[in-house]
Amino acid sequence: MQYGLTPPSAKGYTGPTMSGHTTTIGADTRLSGSISGNGELAVHGAVNGDVHLEGDLTVADSGSVDGDVTAAKLALDGHVSGGVRARQVELGSKARLSGTVDSPRISIHPSARVDARFDMPLSLPRHIGSGRR
């Protein structure tokens, strides 16, 4: 089931994409309130509230989320302001992120604008910190 006026492919969206069934919030849509679900979500409009998904979240260059995000994967080319928790975060060339990020895998395009604190697990080689060389 898709919501919004136009599917991403009709708008010429060329940013990060996910496979499978995706619910879409269209570019002309503004939503206030929390969103939760098991599937994937593509935001081309504006969400003012938290987004908690078992699946992946794509925020297109025309999209924004003002709230906390929890998802399996966040592919961002738009704007997110809030805390992000995901197994994987991809910040595209037009991404704007402010808040905190808790993820073990993060990729950031050089043109992305980021004002965030990152919490990532760090695995050091065994010889570092052991006093041995």
Query: 128: pLDDT confidence band, cut at 50, 70 and 90?
Result: confident
69 DSSP β-pair partners = 51, 84
What is the reported pLDDT for 80?
Answer: 98
Contacts 24+ apart (CB under 8 A), 31-36: 34/67
- Please give the mean pLDDT across all residues of the chain: 85
Q: What is the pLDDT of residues 48-105, one digit of tens each?
A: 999 999 999 999 999 999 999 999 999 999 999 999 999 999 999 999 999 999 999 9
